[in-house]
Chain A
Amino acid sequence: MAINGIGFELVFFATSLMVVISVVIALGLITPSNHTFLKSFSARNLTSISIVVLLSSILPQFYFLYNEKESFVRWGWVFLISVGLSVILWIIYNRTHFRTRRRVVENIVRGFLLFAAVLAVFITFAIAFSLIYEAVKFFQFVPIMDFLVGTRWSPSAVGDNGLGHFGAVPLFAGTFLITGIAMLIAIPAGLMSAIYLSCYANNRTRDVVKPLLELLAGIPTVVYGFFALVAISPLLQTLGQSVGLPIAAESALGVGIVMGFMIIPYVASLSDDMVSSVPKVLKEGSLALGATYSETIKQVIVPAAFPGIMASFLLAMSRAVGETMIVVMAAGYSARMTFNPLEAVTTVTVQIVSLLTGDQEFSSPKTLAAFALGLMLLLITLTLNMIAMRIVRHYREKYD
């Protein structure tokens, strides 16, 4: 409980401090020098603003914590200390020279900005560290090779070493099967709509269709999951029955279709950028030689934009690999080694969720396995992303 409380206060204190400083940055620096006592209380004064903001940022926290008496008292102390600090700052501030003041304030501002940037890096390190740390613990239970090349995944079963089977190959096979189906849908659809919008459509169509396509990317994935669960998968099952094909209720095909639908805008918007950044002279040269529009697109524009288009595929793929909700809701939970899209498969993300939801204790191999899977997932998506970024950068340099 003690650690718990301290953690909270640190977080809340840091939050209020950050809100204060950011508002001070936004407003307080408009201050010209004003020396009269009353004017120093004016809204433009740095310190009075900081007190006001501190109060207003702490007060809601009182509301949040009102039902716990102890923390109320503790927060009273934090509050008093911050008010005291603000008053001291205010006195110092009003007694220093204008130039000194500006220098001091600017250094504080710069320090805060640097702190924010470093914090972003810290997040990356925290992700890497926590995943690697837990994964290493996991590999003390299960040899790393068993995890990477093992073909049997059943964490709850009891094997010869008293643990479940943690061979991750079926999970990756399932993930890539679903991703592959999704890409088969998203690549043609995304590319064709990008080409149509940037080469054929008039401005009015583009203004209507583009936001609608972007809407697809804005819909929460849980909605797609529900759609797959109640509409697409049952539909496929009935279709399969009518032609005598056994299609599982949680078939990879249904999940892949919906996921492909979801990543269309990721393919389309970046491909669109890439296609429209091909220099006009190339296109006009080809048209001047008598090629039709579609020939120009197929033989000039797409080859010229090819690296960029590839990058958009890779980015969309990294989305699909890391996608969770659709598969958790509509794909299977039991690992199966198959490439038949009509059967149910499971994915890395589904297994992470199923290992970590429900009752669990830290440092049991099942919990740790989720972190090892997370690490693999991170590595895959990062690699895809880095390659894509590099391609895009080279491509931009080529035509700029």
Chain B
Amino acid sequence: MTKQLQLLRKRNRSETRFRLYGLWTIVVVLTLLGLMLVSIGIRGSSVFQKAFFHVEIEFAQKDIPYDPLHPQESLRKVNFRELIYNSIQHPDTLQRNHIQQLISPGAEIMLYNRVLKKPDMIGGKYFVWIQASDDVDYFLKHPEIKNKPALERRLSDAQMDYLSEQAAIGTLKRKFNWQFFTNGDSRSPELAGIKAALVGSFFTILVTLMLAFPLGIAAAVYIEEFAPRNRFVRFIELNINNLASVPSIVFGLLGLMVFINVMGMPRSSSIVGGLTLAMMIMPTIFIATRSALHTVPKTISRAAEALGASRVQVVFHHKVPLALPGILTGTILGVARALGESAALLMIGMVAFVVDAPTSPRDPATVLPVQIFNWARNPEQGFEDHTAAAIMVLLLFLMVMNVGAIYIRKKFEHRW
């Protein structure tokens, strides 16, 4: 008897153990997921908030020899750094030099861009928010570094006193870093932004959607509703199912070969990217549409047929509208995949360094994931934070799309 009891106990123990393994796996996987997201969040969040000085800068006519015919050339000669430095008032010259080092090197380029856009500023005196260096940013976030020994921090006592003073009167503040959204790519991390990538992504997805949405649905409707059951149709079916598993890099090779090599479209343009991605997500939309059509009960089409509707009318008046939530969900998920895709776009040369946002799908463009890739392999230190910040923006877009898809599914789903 005791032997049996022992055996039973052993079996129960192994049962508990097995159950715990399962629980453990899930906990570990979800913890890793959380760690990944949190580590990206921590790195990225510093990009969205930056320290800025509020200074009054005199744009004197004599300092800025502006030529309306060649605005860029003439402004490039201007020493904007000097303008910023002159605006800093401090009785002690040595201290003034130390304080000048607190200005970010990107500030002068910011000023250049501003004057280029609004040349009528020249001759006036304006209050401007000037970006401070990363050390200042760090000090504002962690004021406790004051208490550290002087060798372990990068700011001197005088500098920190100045910063505290400025922060107290409100001329030094951490503000939302709009530049990250309004600038294109740049060689220096302070100025790099994702505007060009966002616009490129927009054009690419637009082209993708315009092609893949109608084509994917039409192919699915044909196979599911109209096609005779013969070999050719089964072949098409098999084909599309297999297309869904083809690695995205192969679609990139196809895009390179067909659109760039044979059709001669420009490299790196969003139209080629959009076409390539359209081929990639068409199977996704196809499969979603088919299964959505499949769940619509036969009684509906029977009823429509009994009232004299033709086949096309049955399908497009009754089945497709009822299947629409499923179709839209599949489409959103497909587009989300296209939005996060980068391997296929590397193949068609969308790794270009793009400073200005493209104005048409024919312009050289980059997309958000490729921008992330480019920044991630940039050895310069500041770009790591930028990469994480761009990832946060990308994940935000994807999250909105996925939540939208879930909402549509929950709201409109029919249970037959």
Give the nearest-CB partner of B312 in chain A: A106
B-side contacts of A225, CB under 8 Å: 373, 376
Are A374 and B29 in touch, CB under 8 angstroms? Answer: no
B18 within 8 A of A: yes
- Contacts A119-B215, A200-B22 given: A261-B29 contact, CB under 8 Å? yes
Are B222 and A114 in touch, CB under 8 angstroms? Answer: yes
Contact of B218 (CB < 8 Å), options: A68, A112, A188, A196 = A112
Give the nearest-CB partner of B251 in chain A: A127
Are B40 and A223 in touch, CB under 8 angstroms? Answer: yes
B-side contacts of A110, CB under 8 Å: 222, 226, 312
A4 within 8 A of B: yes
Are A29 and B312 in touch, CB under 8 angstroms? Answer: yes
A117 within 8 A of B: yes
B-side contacts of A298, CB under 8 Å: 18
- Contacts A124-B243, A261-B32 given: A322-B248 contact, CB under 8 Å? yes
- Contacts A3-B263, A220-B369 given: A120-B247 contact, CB under 8 Å? no
Are A381 and B218 in touch, CB under 8 angstroms? Answer: no
- Mask of B309-350 contacts with A, CB within 8 angstroms, 1/0: 011110011001000000000000100100111110011010
Contact of A324 (CB < 8 Å), options: B243, B283, B343, B395 = B343
B241 within 8 A of A: yes
Tally of chain B residues near chain A (CB < 8 A)? 105
Are A109 and B312 in touch, CB under 8 angstroms? Answer: yes
* Closest Cβ–Cβ distance, residue A297 to chain B (whole Å): 7
Are B247 and A322 in touch, CB under 8 angstroms? Answer: yes
Are A196 and B26 in touch, CB under 8 angstroms? Answer: yes
Are B245 and A324 in touch, CB under 8 angstroms? Answer: no
B253 within 8 A of A: yes
The size bracket of the interface on A is 35 or more
Give the nearest-CB partner of B225 in chain A: A113
Are B317 and A22 in touch, CB under 8 angstroms? Answer: no
A-side contacts of B341, CB under 8 Å: 220
Are A116 and B265 in touch, CB under 8 angstroms? Answer: no
Are B387 and A226 in touch, CB under 8 angstroms? Answer: yes
Total contacts A-B at CB 8 Å = 289
* Closest Cβ–Cβ distance, residue B348 to chain A (whole Å): 9
Are A349 and B257 in touch, CB under 8 angstroms? Answer: no
Q: How far is the CA of A66 from the CA of B360 in the complex (A)?
A: 8
B-side contacts of A321, CB under 8 Å: 247
A229 within 8 A of B: yes
Among B8-16, B45-53, B64-72, the stretch that binds chain A is B8-16
Give the nearest-CB partner of B30 in chain A: A212
* Interface hits, A331-388 → B, CB 8 Å: 349, 352-353, 356-357, 362, 370-371, 374, 377-378, 381-382, 385-386
Are A213 and B29 in touch, CB under 8 angstroms? Answer: yes
Q: How far is the CA of A63 from the CA of B360 in the complex (A)?
A: 8
Are B340 and A222 in touch, CB under 8 angstroms? Answer: yes
Q: How far is the CA of A378 from the CA of B261 in the complex (A)?
A: 20
Are A117 and B336 in touch, CB under 8 angstroms? Answer: no
Are B250 and A378 in touch, CB under 8 angstroms? Answer: yes
- Mask of B182-219 contacts with A, CB within 8 angstroms, 1/0: 00000000000000000000010001001101111111
Are A67 and B359 in touch, CB under 8 angstroms? Answer: yes
- Mask of A218-232 contacts with B, CB within 8 angstroms, 1/0: 111111011101110
* Closest Cβ–Cβ distance, residue A1 to chain B (whole Å): 8
Are A8 and B265 in touch, CB under 8 angstroms? Answer: yes
* Interface hits, B374-399 → A, CB 8 Å: 376-377, 384, 387-388, 391, 394-395, 398
Are A123 and B243 in touch, CB under 8 angstroms? Answer: yes
Are A220 and B266 in touch, CB under 8 angstroms? Answer: no
Q: How far is the CA of A163 from the CA of B249 in the complex (A)?
A: 25
Are A381 and B247 in touch, CB under 8 angstroms? Answer: yes
* Interface hits, A24-80 → B, CB 8 Å: 25-26, 29-30, 57, 63-68
A271 within 8 A of B: no
Are A221 and B342 in touch, CB under 8 angstroms? Answer: yes
B-side contacts of A131, CB under 8 Å: 250, 253-254, 257
Give the nearest-CB partner of A323 in chain B: B247
Are B40 and A19 in touch, CB under 8 angstroms? Answer: no
Are A7 and B265 in touch, CB under 8 angstroms? Answer: yes
A-side contacts of B128, CB under 8 Å: none
Q: How far is the CA of A228 from the CA of B236 in the complex (A)?
A: 39
Among A89-97, A143-151, A164-172, A288-296, the stretch that binds chain B is A288-296
* Closest Cβ–Cβ distance, residue B389 to chain A (whole Å): 11
Are B25 and A189 in touch, CB under 8 angstroms? Answer: yes
- Name which of B243, B254, B336, B370 has the most chain A CB atoms within 10 A of its CB: B254
A11 within 8 A of B: yes
Contact of A218 (CB < 8 Å), options: B257, B387, B402 = B402
- Name which of B11, B203, B313, B316 has the most chain A CB atoms within 10 A of its CB: B316
Q: How far is the CA of A68 from the CA of B218 in the complex (A)?
A: 33
A15 within 8 A of B: yes
B221 within 8 A of A: yes
Q: How far is the CA of A67 from the CA of B257 in the complex (A)?
A: 27
Are B236 and A329 in touch, CB under 8 angstroms? Answer: no
B-side contacts of A8, CB under 8 Å: 265, 271, 362
A248 within 8 A of B: no
Are A329 and B249 in touch, CB under 8 angstroms? Answer: no
- Mask of B230-245 contacts with A, CB within 8 angstroms, 1/0: 0000011001111101
* Closest Cβ–Cβ distance, residue A75 to chain B (whole Å): 12
* Closest Cβ–Cβ distance, residue A120 to chain B (whole Å): 5
B-side contacts of A130, CB under 8 Å: 253-254, 257-258
A391 within 8 A of B: no
A272 within 8 A of B: no
> Knowing that A64-B359, A382-B246 are A-B contacts, what are 10 other residue pairs whose CB atoms are under 8 Å apart, sorted by A's residue number?
A22-B213, A67-B359, A116-B214, A120-B283, A131-B250, A213-B29, A222-B369, A230-B43, A292-B12, A322-B246
